[in-house]
Amino acid sequence: MISYLPLVFVFPLIGFLILAFGRGRLSENLAAIVGVGSVGLSAATTAYVGYDFLTHLPASGAYVVPLWTWMSVGTFNVEFALKLDGLSLTMLSVITGVGFLIHLFASWYMRGDDGYGRFLSYMNLFVASMLFLVLGDDLLFLYFGWEGVGLCSYLLIGFWYKDAANGAAARKAFVITRVGDTFMAIALFILYREFGTLNIDELQRLAPQAWAVGAPLATATAMLLLGGAVGKSAQLPLQTWLPDAMAGPTPVSALIHAATMVTAGVYLIARTHVLFELSPVAMQWVGGIGAVTLLLAGFTALMQTDIKKILAYSTMSQIGYMFLAEGAGAYQPAVFHLMTHAFFKALLFLSSGSVILAMHHEQDIFKMGGLYKKIPFVFACMLIGTLALTAFPFTSGYFSKDEILHQAYLTGHYELWAAGLFGAFLTAVYSFRLIFITFFGPERWRQAQAHGHGHGHDDHGHGAGEPHGAHTLDHHIPLAILLVLAVVGGYIHLPLSAVLPEAHIAGGDHGPAYIAHLPFVASMAGLVVSWLLFLQFPQVPAALARGAATAWIGKLWKNAWGFDWLYDALFKAPFVWAARINRNDFIDGLIGLIPAGLRGAASLATATQTGGLRWYAAVAGAGLCLLIAVVALH
């Protein structure tokens, strides 16, 4: 049974190849069948293998399927094996399951787009790379998948490449994650140098033997790995790419920039948790970064007007929760939250995609309003997703977020717990702001329409017209399934205990009983505040926007605390400045000496090729004499 495991990523890979080579030749329907079907088959295989895994739990907690020896030159030996344990099975299920639903939705969403086949081929390649990432038992293969998903992310953000802004967003995402990848690569170099292997099991066995807790090298390695994770998961300080990544089609945002790829950092830390445990400093950093990111992103989300950007910042903040949990040593809740987040965030993104299409490609929530009557099903999806996001009791998010906060408290990380609690309040405020403004209140799109008609030359082609809902099955089914998952996903029991350790609960101190109810109270408070501010008294935010100090803070939040500006000033501006003063490129001049020298040498060498037979014979004869002289008269 377990030997079917490779099929899981082979199916999407084949799908990718068919779509890539059949581009322009496959009809939309055929492309949809190949693209969606390959991921569907992959999901089915996962279900089959997963069932087998759970019914025949291996003693060691993991099945290893050796595939082949990739290369063996002397002592350099790279073997490729797939590893299936509770953690990779969880990731596998999320990637293929949620991935399949999103593919299905995308096949509806992208209808009529010029690059339909291209889109699906990239998506399939992404799924294959992501599966590679979670299945490899070797950090080298994890890195391979890591770069693969980075490439797909780049391709898909810039999918509508005809708009230069999308290309810039794609480039930004690629370059910034690249910074993190470089850290990670250096970590791999250190590990290989120290232990001579990149096999994860081997590393987990060898590292505690070689390194004492808090050893400088262990800290350096863990910090570098954290650098990689931070880049991929859009955490501080490498978080700035994620909002721009919303330039891609909405299913991409759902799959890559919410459900799967951005959580790869969380996965990486969980996967190499033994290395992190060796460095308390790095653990503190993990938790600290998570806490700060979730707060900063929460404030930023409050001020956004673009529906997808709100969701992007909320993703950032939810991943902050996962980091926070891992920093507290609570890996299992982190991965649990990863899964539930995949469900409800995919649901939210897909619904928002549906909203955007219904509004004729309008993304500004202040041009929407009152939509609950127009698209009730999408509204229901959005509402359930938001409830799960704000950890409303008995939705999936409730279980996972509650457990994170509870364990953070129990392990004695009170500052993380407090940050998380405040974050829960913020989450509720900005999430319900999105719901209230989009689906309730005045129907602002009518004004926009009238406005557009008033000027008489609205040639932008959007912002006009009645919102229209979708009525096809490939739109409803993914949303419906995700809706169910977002509700009941919290009851899933993950088989993680064999892979990830329990959090170290300090001395049986369970704290006062009300601790467990505080997150719910915080969310409710957020809901009420949001209701008051954005539905009952919309004049209050408007008044705040007029006050000098509050307006300044609002602007700061709206621009995500000015990180983009800061990085521009710190890195881009000096670079551009250096490039400008070096316009004649002094160093290039020096480097230019090399080709010039080579060119000279080449013309000298070419001059020897006269074409004359006698000359050739003479040169060969001279060469022979030289050779004899070298050998015999050493």
> With binding defined as CB under 8 A, does residue 624 bind another protein?
yes
Q: How far is CA 259 from CA 135, 254, 315, 601, in A?
A: 17, 6, 9, 56
**Residue 623 binds another protein, judged by CB under 8 A:** yes
Query: If binding is defined by CB under 8 A, does position 630 make contact with another protein?
Result: yes
How open is the CA angle 249-253-256, to the nearest 5 degrees?
A: 120
Q: Is 550 among the residues that bind another protein (CB under 8 A)?
A: no
Applying CB under 8 A, the span of 84-92, 304-312, 486-494, 602-610 interacting with another protein comes to: 602-610
> Whole-angstrom Cα distance, residue 186 to residue 193?
10
Q: Find out whether 366 and 443 touch, Cβ atoms under 8 Å.
A: no
| 617 lies in the binding site for another protein (CB under 8 A) | yes
Would you count residue 361 as binding another protein (CB under 8 A)?
no
Alpha carbon distance 124, 118 (integer Å): 10
Residues 469-498 that bind another protein (CB under 8 A): none
Nearest distance in Å: CB 431, another protein? 45
Pick between residue 506 and residue 618 the one whose CB is nearest to another protein: 618
User: Judged by CB under 8 A, which of 3, 27, 60, 69 binds another protein?
Assistant: 69
Could you say which of 24, 25, 74, 549 contacts another protein (CB under 8 A)?
74
| Residues near another protein (CB under 8 A), total | 35
What is the Cα–Cα distance from 595 to 600, expressed in whole angstroms?
8
Minimum CB distance to another protein smaller for 537 or for 616: 616
Q: Tokens 């509204």 correspond to what residue?
A: 379
CA angle 63, 1, 37 (to 5 degrees): 110
Q: Is 616 in the site for another protein (CB under 8 A)?
A: yes
DSSP characters over 476-545: HHHHHHHHHHHHHGGGPPP--TTTSPPP---TT----GGGGGHHHHHHHHHHHHHIIIIII-THHHHHHH
Rule CB under 8 A: choose which of 72, 536, 559, 582 binds another protein.
72
Stretch that binds another protein, among 29-37, 427-435, 513-521, 622-630 (CB under 8 A): 622-630
Helix (H) or strand (E) holding 70: strand 62-73
Instruction: Please report whether residue 596 would count as binding another protein according to CB under 8 A.
Output: no
Binding span for another protein by CB under 8 A among 34-42, 262-270, 546-554, 601-609: 601-609
Q: What is the 3-state secondary structure (H, E, C) of 3-23?
A: HHCCHHHHHHHHHHHHHHHCC
Supply the DSSP symbol for 395: S
**Alpha-helical regions (H) of 56-115:** 86-93, 99-109
By CB under 8 A, residue 593 contacts another protein: no
The two tokens of residue 277 are 């445990």
Residue 143 CB, shortest distance to another protein, in Å, is: 14
| Min CB(468)–another protein separation in Å | 41
State the nearest-atom distance from the C-beta of 287 to another protein, in Å: 38
3-state SS string for 343-386: HHHHHHHHHHHHHHHHCCCCCEHHHCCCHHHCCHHHHHHHHHHH
- Dist. CA 151–CA 280, nearest whole Å: 33
Tokens 């088989």 sit at which residue? 495
Distance in Å, CB of 628 to another protein, minimum: 4
Does residue 606 belong to the site contacting another protein (CB under 8 A)?
A: yes
* Residue number with CB closer to another protein (574 or 623): 623
CB of 76 to another protein, least distance (A): 7
68 binds another protein (CB under 8 A): yes
Classify 64 as helix, strand or coil: strand
54 binds another protein (CB under 8 A): no
Residue 80: which H helix or E strand, with range?
strand 76-85
Q: How far apart are CA 112 and CA 248, in angstroms?
A: 16
Q: Which of 73, 513, 590, 593 binds another protein (CB under 8 A)?
A: 73
Q: Shortest Cβ distance from residue 609 to another protein (Å)?
A: 6
Using the minimum distance from each CB to another protein, give the nearer residue, 461 or 611: 611
Stretch of residues binding another protein (CB under 8 A), selected from 57-65, 343-351, 528-536, 598-606: 598-606
Q: Interface residues for another protein in 76-115 (CB under 8 A)?
A: 76
Binding of another protein by 591 (CB under 8 A): no
Rounded to a whole number of angstroms, the minimum distance from the CB of residue 601 to another protein is: 5
Whichever of 55 and 608 has its CB closer to another protein, that residue is 608
Q: Is 539 in the site for another protein (CB under 8 A)?
A: no
Q: Which stretch binds another protein (CB under 8 A): 170-178, 292-300, 379-387, 600-608?
A: 600-608
- Return the structure tokens found at 480: 């419906």
590 binds another protein (CB under 8 A): no
Q: Which long-range contacts (CB under 8 A, 24 or more apart) does 563-571 make?
A: 563/237, 563/239, 563/240, 564/240, 567/240
Nearest distance from residue 618's CB to another protein, in Å? 10
Q: Helix, strand, coil % (nearest 5) of the chain?
A: 75, 5, 20
Residue tagged 């790095």 (tokens): 282
Residues numbered 159 to 218 that lie near another protein (CB under 8 A) are none
Q: What's the token pair of residue 401?
A: 């977020």
What minimum distance in Å lies between the beta carbon of 194 and another protein? 21
- 421 close to 518: Cβ distance less than 8 angstroms: yes
Give me the residues paired with residue 73 across strands. 76
Tokens of 218: 């262990």
Q: Which of 51, 70, 575, 577 binds another protein (CB under 8 A)?
A: 70
609 is a contact residue toward another protein (CB under 8 A): yes
Reference 141, options 183, 193, 83; nearest CA is 83
Q: How far is the CB of 31 from another protein (least distance, A)?
A: 20
Nearer to another protein, 68 or 491 (CB): 68
The residue range among 10-18, 25-33, 57-65, 605-613 that interacts with another protein, by the rule CB under 8 A, is: 605-613
Q: What is the DSSP letter of 51?
A: H
Question: Tokens in use for 92?
Answer: 């596998």
**Would you tell me which residues interact with another protein (CB under 8 A)?**
68-74, 76, 595, 598-599, 601-603, 605-606, 608-609, 611, 613, 615-617, 619-620, 622-624, 626-628, 630-632, 634
